[in-house]
Amino acid sequence: MAFVLASLVLMTVDHRYRHLEVVRAGLSVLVLPLQLAVNAPFQLAQWASDRLATRRSLMDENARLRAERLLIDARLGRFSDLEAENRRLRELLDSSSRVGERVLVAEVMAVDMDPFSHKILLNRGSRDGAFLGQPLIDANGVMGQVVHVTPFSSTALLVTDPNHALPVQVTRNGLRAIAIGRGVSSGLELAHMPLNADVRVDDLVVTSGLDGRFPSGYPVGRVSQVRLDTGRPFAEVRVEPSAHMERNREVLLVWGAGQGPGEVARTPANPGKGL
Amino acid sequence: MSPPSPRRGTVTIAVSFLVALMLTALPLPHWAEPWRPAWVTLVLAYWVLALPHRVGVGVGWGLGLLLDVLTGALLGQHALSLSLVAFLALRLHQRLRVLSPWEQGVSIFLLVVLDRALSLWVTGIQGMPTEARAIWAPALTSTLLWPWLFVVLRDVRRRYQVS
């Protein structure tokens, strides 16, 4: 009976407040060896496939990467020019300029989490400067944010989780909305869109940055379905995420402007508010 | 033979729980995920049935807490369901022990259903979508697995003379 009561109290406190993060972090360090052990065979396989690659395939890959890099360099050259111009124009307009964000590559550990929530375990923790609420992206778009941090690992909630909401903007017309995870299958939904909202299938949806947590302008996904049912108060707009939620091995943790790993470590009590 | 000391085999029990936790975290292909047997519940039920004087509700609760942290669930969610499972197994261990492993499987089915249902109930309260398959799929695989697990764990228990 006492244990049932203790569980109920724990659940309530964990759900409502943040006091238990310390307990969770402590216990997480206990389970970390387990998670590492589970991850080890996958790591080994990765390592083996890296080591046992033939010279030929490496050369092919090298050539391909070289070509790709040339392309990207060319694009980046133009981009930095545009960025400089953008900054100049912003200064002319006297508006706050965007400073480049810093990123850190984190590896997704091959550990299955609770099947009902969309979470992943990362191999970077507070020692690497990760903090609560830190945005997580991949090469294609926004993936989620960090919800638990321990010294050596952290757990991230994906944007497709039903408990995750994200302020977004449609690039075509600047329309603002809130994207909420749908949970059942991977996908998002724009909440409370009026029936006459100008949203079309294939519109690109990006973060608006209004939450002060996610940097603005990162792609979230494309509108995959717009259902207008006059019997309902709101239009049903579904968004297919552009990040590869279940196929990534490497993801990027983002520090916004003015936040560095060192700076964040000093103010862990105020996560994600420094943007 | 001298009576074994009461502390004997704690390591064995702990290792079996660790293996169960690892199997819970082992990545499975997407289609197989709902069918993952409730490893921790099974191993806990075995030890409660075999050694009710050593493994009880408290162990179940602590194990549940570890499982919560491991799966990133709400703290206390699995602790609640596993302590109830341990409690029921403790209550019924006299009756369940005399049954054959296959017959015990039926009771295990009910225990796992209870375990899953409680967990799902908690996730449901948090507003996450749940499906009924998540209750009966693991219960089914767990029931099929029980006789084998029973034999393996019994051998382990005899081998290391855990009592």
Comparing CB atoms, the residue among A11, A23, A37 nearest residue B74 is A11
User: Locate tokens 């990534």: which residue?
Assistant: A248
Q: What is the pLDDT of residues A171-190, one digit of tens each?
A: 888 899 999 988 766 689 99
User: Locate tokens 């972090």: which residue?
Assistant: A25
0.95 surpassed by complex ipTM: no
The domains found in chain A, sorted by start residue, are 2-54 (no CATH), 100-255 (2.40.10.340)
The domains found in chain B, sorted by start residue, are 6-159 (1.10.1760)
Q: Do B75 and A34 touch (CB under 8 A)?
A: no
At residue B78, does pLDDT exceed 70?
yes
Mean pLDDT along residues B8-35 = 86
Comparing CB atoms, the residue among A31, A121, A183 nearest residue B128 is A183
Task: Give the residue on B whose Cα is nearest the Cα of A157.
Answer: B72
CB pairs A-B closer than 8 Å? 114
At residue B54, does pLDDT exceed 90?
no
Residue A42 burial (C-beta neighbours within 10 Å; 0-12, 13-18, 19+): middle
Mean pLDDT along residues A214-227 = 88
Q: Is A20 on the interface with B (CB under 8 A)?
A: yes
% of chain B with per-residue pLDDT over 90: 22
Q: Do A3 and B57 touch (CB under 8 A)?
A: yes
